[in-house]
Amino acid sequence: MRRRSFVTLTAAGVGTLLAGCGRDEPTGIDLQNAPKGPIVLGFSQVGAEGGWRRANTASIRKAAERNRIDLNFKDAEGDPAKQIADVHAFIDAKVSVIAFAPVVETGWGEVLRRARGAGIPVVLTDRLIDEKDTSLWASSIGAEFASEGNLAAIYLENDYAGTSGTVNVVEILGVTGATPTKLRAQGFAATAAKTGRLKIIDEETGDWTKDGGESAMRRLLRRNKRIDAVFAQNDDMGLGAVIALEAAGKKPGTAPKIVTVDGTKAALQGLVDRKLTFVVECSPEIGEPLMSVVVDLFHGGRVPKRIESDKAVFDMETAGDALLDRTY
C-alpha cells in the first residue's frame, strides 16, 4: 500500500487533506458533517525494553503532536494485566480511538467487546492478538513477522550455498506468548525445513533485551559444542549474544554468523564492525500511518484492515550507507 502523509486542519478536526484528489481508496469521510471536538487517542505501549521500542514510542508521540491529536499515552511495562486495565481506563475516559501494542496475544476479548459497545474503534500496532472475532479491531499496523523469519533463514542459508553438511543454528527468542516471538520462529523454521541445511539445535528466551540476549547465549554455549549460526529475534538480543560469544573466545559475525531483526542504528553499526552478519529491518516508525487511520476512524471513514510497515535486509557491505540517515 502507498504510504500516506497528512495534517489535520484544526484540533476540532475538519477532516484530512487526504480527502481530495488522487486517493487510491475512498475513506468515506463526510466533511460536510464532521464530528466536533478534539481527536483523543488512547495508546498503550508494551514498555521501553529496547532501542526499537523507544523509537516506536517517539514516532507515535511525534506524529500525534504534528497532527494535533491529543495523545493519552500509557506504558504497560510488560505487564498484560496492567495493559488491559489501561485499555479499560481509555474506555472510561471516552477517548476517540484506542490503539495498543499487545504485550501478549490472549485475554483481549472482554475489554475489546466493551470498547465496541462504547463505540470506540480499536487499532492494533506492531503485534496481533489471538481472537476469533476480528471485528473487535478496525485495523492493524505493523510488520509481517513470519516473513521476517523467512528472510532471516533465506539470507543465512544463502551464505552456506555450495557447502556440504548441516548448519547448526541456535535461536534466541523474545518474550513467550508475544506475536513476533511465535511468528518469527515459525517463519524461520518453515524456510529452514525446505532444504534441511539449517538445523535448529537449541533455543533460549532473551526477553527482547541486550542483557537477556547475553544470558541466553551463555546458556546456549554451555549446552552446545558446535554453533555455526545464531538467529536472534531482535537486535538487542543479538548484540547481547555478541558480548557472550566474544567472552567465550568466538568471532561473532563470522564464527558463528549472527542474523537479527529490527534494523536499529546499533545493529547496523554491528554490521559495519563485522560483529553481526545480517539484519532484517522491522521499522518502528509507524506514527504517521497510525495517525492517518485514527483521523479516518474519527470521521467515520473506512480504513484498511492491515497496513504493513517497511522492511529490508542489510549486510556488512550495505549497512554503512543505511547508517547515514537512520533515525533510531
Closest CA to 292 of 277, 303, 306, 308: 303
Q: Which residues contact 287 (CB under 8 A, 6 or more apart)?
A: 59, 60, 61, 62, 63, 64
Q: Kind of pairing, strands 313-315 and 278-281?
A: antiparallel
Q: What is the reported pLDDT for 51?
A: 80
At residue 23, does pLDDT exceed 90? no
From the candidate CATH numbers 3.40.50.620, 3.40.50.2000, 3.40.50.2300, 3.30.200.20, the one assigned to the domain spanning 145-282: 3.40.50.2300
Calculate the alpha carbon distances from 117 to 99, 102, 208 in Å: 16, 20, 35
CA 174 – CA 162 distance, rounded (Å): 32
Q: In the chain, where are the structural domains located?
A: 17-142+285-309, 145-282
CA 238 – CA 105 distance, rounded (Å): 24
At residue 196, does pLDDT exceed 50? yes
Which helix (DSSP H) or strand (DSSP E) does residue 306 occupy? Answer: strand 306-308
Q: What is the reported pLDDT for 32?
A: 52
Sheet strand arrangement including 278-281: 198-205, 167-173, 229-232, 257-262, 278-281, 313-315
- Omega before 180 within 30 of 0, i.e. cis: no
Which helix (DSSP H) or strand (DSSP E) does residue 320 occupy? Answer: helix 319-323
Beta partners for residue 41, in sequence order: 71, 97
Which grid coordinates belong to 262?
A: 529490527
CA 174 – CA 306 distance, rounded (Å): 23
Closest CA to 197 of 235, 232, 154: 154
Do the domains 145-282 and 17-142+285-309 match in fold?
yes
- Tens digits of residue pLDDT in 126-184: 988 999 999 999 999 988 999 999 999 999 999 998 888 999 999 999 999 888 999 99
DSSP 157-218: HHTTTT--S-EEEEEEE-STT-HHHHHHHHHHHHHHHHHS-EEEEEEEE-TTSHHHHHHHHH
DSSP 123: E
- Tens digits of residue pLDDT in 212-236: 999 999 999 999 999 999 999 999 9
Closest CA to 214 of 245, 250, 170, 244: 244
17-142+285-309 folds as Rossmann fold (3.40.50)
CA 81 – CA 76 distance, rounded (Å): 8
Closest CA to 99 of 269, 323, 291, 303: 291
**Residue 28 binned pLDDT confidence (cut-offs 50, 70, 90):** very low
Residue 61 has a CB neighbour count (10 Å cut-off) of 15
CA 164 – CA 154 distance, rounded (Å): 17
Q: What is the reported pLDDT for 4?
A: 26
